[in-house]
C-alpha cells in the first residue's frame, strides 16, 4: 500500500522524471497504471513519478522496428491494428497474451512496462514479448566506466531476457523504462501461443510462445519462450540454436529432448516440477507444430 506517500509528481519531460527518480531520498518510484503499485508497493516508498504526461503511450513503426511506449496499456495492445489477436503474421501473440493478463478493468490501466517490472513466472505477455525478441529501452542510465557521461550514455537498450534477470539492479539505478521495442518480423513469420491452466479463463500454470519462418521445411529466426518453469519466463536458447536453419521434421524431437534435459523447474501447489516440465514439452510441441502447419498452409 502507498501508506507513506508524501509526494506525487507528474513531470512533462524525461529529464525531470529521471532527476526525481535518482534522488537518494525520499524513496521514489515510477507510477504506471498503478494496478500493482497501489496495492503492493514497499512501505518505504514515499514519492511517485507518474509517467502519464511523458508521451509514452504510443505504438509506432519506425523502419523495421516496432516501438511500444512504456505507458501503453494492455488493452491498447489488444486493440492495436498491428498486434490484435487474429491479426495475420506473427505479432498477434502480443495482443492475445495482453488479453490473457487480466480482466478489462485492469487491462485499461496496466501498462506494458508495469508488466515487465512485475513479471511473474508465467506472465503470458512477457512470454510472448520474449518470443518476439523484445528489448527494453531505459532513460537515465550511466556508463560506469566513464567519469564524464556523454549524452548517448543516458539511454540504454537491454534485451528483455537480460532485463528480467537483473531488473532490480537496473531499476535501483533510478532509471525509467521509456519503451519496449522489437524487430518487425518478416511477412512469412508465424507465431503461436499455448497455455495450460486450471480452467480456460485462469492465469496459466505453464505457457509457451513460438515464432519462426519456415521455407521448404527449414526454419529461420526460430524463437521459443516458456513461462512457468523458472522465476520469470525464459527463452529456450538450446532449442533455438539447435534448430536454426535446420529441417524441422528431422531435428525437432532430438533437439527438444536435449533442451528438456536442461530444464529443472521448481514445483509448487499449482504444479509439481515433473508436471511443469512435461507441460512445457507438450506445449512447445503444440506451439511449434502449429506454426509449422500455418507456414505450410501459407505457401
Ligand X SMILES: Cc1cc2nc3c(=O)[nH]c(=O)nc-3n(C[C@H](O)[C@H](O)[C@H](O)COP(=O)(O)OP(=O)(O)OC[C@H]3O[C@@H](n4cnc5c(N)ncnc54)[C@H](O)[C@@H]3O)c2cc1C
Instruction: Kindly list the residues in this chain that would bind ligand X in the complex (CB under 6 A).
Output: 29-37, 39, 51, 70, 101-102, 106, 109-111, 113-115, 117-118, 120, 123, 171, 176-177, 203
Q: How far is the CB of 65 from ligand X (least distance, A)?
A: 19
Integer Cα distance of 63 and 184 in angstroms: 9
Using the minimum distance from each CB to ligand X, give the nearer residue, 130 or 213: 130
Using the minimum distance from each CB to ligand X, give the nearer residue, 74 or 281: 74
Using the minimum distance from each CB to ligand X, give the nearer residue, 110 or 219: 110
Residue written as cell 507438450?
A: 282
CA dihedral 288, 291, 297, 299 (to 10 degrees): -100
Q: Within 13 Å and on the Cβ side, how many CA atoms surround 165?
A: 8
Q: How far is the CB of 114 from ligand X (least distance, A)?
A: 2
Using the minimum distance from each CB to ligand X, give the nearer residue, 123 or 211: 123
Q: How far is the CB of 225 from ligand X (least distance, A)?
A: 15
Q: How far is the CB of 219 from ligand X (least distance, A)?
A: 30
Q: How far is the CB of 182 from ligand X (least distance, A)?
A: 17
Q: Which residue is nearest to ligand X (CB)?
A: 114
Using the minimum distance from each CB to ligand X, give the nearer residue, 126 or 288: 126
Long-range contact set of residues 76-84: C-beta below 8 Å, sequence gap at least 24: 77/112, 77/125, 78/107, 83/59
Amino acid at each position: 500500500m502507498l501508506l507513506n506517500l508524501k509526494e506525487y509528481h507528474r513531470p512533462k519531460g524525461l529529464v525531470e522524471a529521471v532527476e526525481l527518480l535518482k534522488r537518494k531520498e525520499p524513496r521514489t518510484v515510477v507510477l504506471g497504471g498503478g494496478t500493482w503499485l497501489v496495492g503492493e508497493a514497499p512501505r518505504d516508498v514515499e514519492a511517485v513519478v507518474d509517467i502519464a504526461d511523458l508521451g509514452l503511450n504510443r505504438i509506432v513503426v519506425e523502419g523495421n522496428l516496432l516501438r511500444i511506449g512504456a505507458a501503453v496499456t494492455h488493452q491498447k495492445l489488444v486493440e492495436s491494428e498491428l498486434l490484435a489477436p487474429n491479426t495475420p503474421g506473427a505479432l498477434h501473440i502480443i495482443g492475445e497474451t495482453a488479453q490473457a493478463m487480466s480482466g478489462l478493468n485492469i487491462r485499461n490501466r496496466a501498462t506494458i512496462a508495469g508488466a515487465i517490472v512485475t513479471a511473474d513466472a508465467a506472465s503470458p505477455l512477457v512470454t510472448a514479448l520474449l518470443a518476439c525478441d523484445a528489448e527494453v529501452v531505459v532513460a537515465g542510465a550511466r556508463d560506469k566506466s566513464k567519469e564524464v557521461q556523454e549524452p548517448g550514455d543516458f539511454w540504454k537498450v537491454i534485451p528483455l531476457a537480460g532485463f528480467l534477470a537483473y531488473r532490480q539492479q537496473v531499476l535501483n539505478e533510478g532509471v525509467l523504462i521509456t519503451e519496449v521495442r522489437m524487430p518487425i518480423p518478416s511477412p512469412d513469420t508465424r507465431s503461436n501461443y499455448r497455455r495450460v491452466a486450471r480452467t480456460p479463463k485462469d492465469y496459466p500454470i505453464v505457457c509457451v510462445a513460438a515464432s519462426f519462418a519456415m521455407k521448404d521445411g527449414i526454419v529461420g529466426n526460430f524463437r521459443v519462450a516458456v513461462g512457468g518453469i523458472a522465476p520469470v519466463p525464459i527463452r529456450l536458447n538450446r532449442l533455438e540454436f539447435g534448430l536454426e536453419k535446420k529441417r524441422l521434421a528431422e531435428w525437432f524431437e532430438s533437439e527438444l529432448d536435449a533442451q528438456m534435459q536442461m530444464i529443472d523447474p521448481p514445483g509448487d501447489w499449482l504444479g509439481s516440477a515433473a508436471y511443469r516440465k512435461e507441460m512445457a514439452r507438450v506445449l512447445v510441441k503444440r506451439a511449434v507444430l502449429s506454426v509449422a502447419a500455418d507456414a505450410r498452409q501459407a505457401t
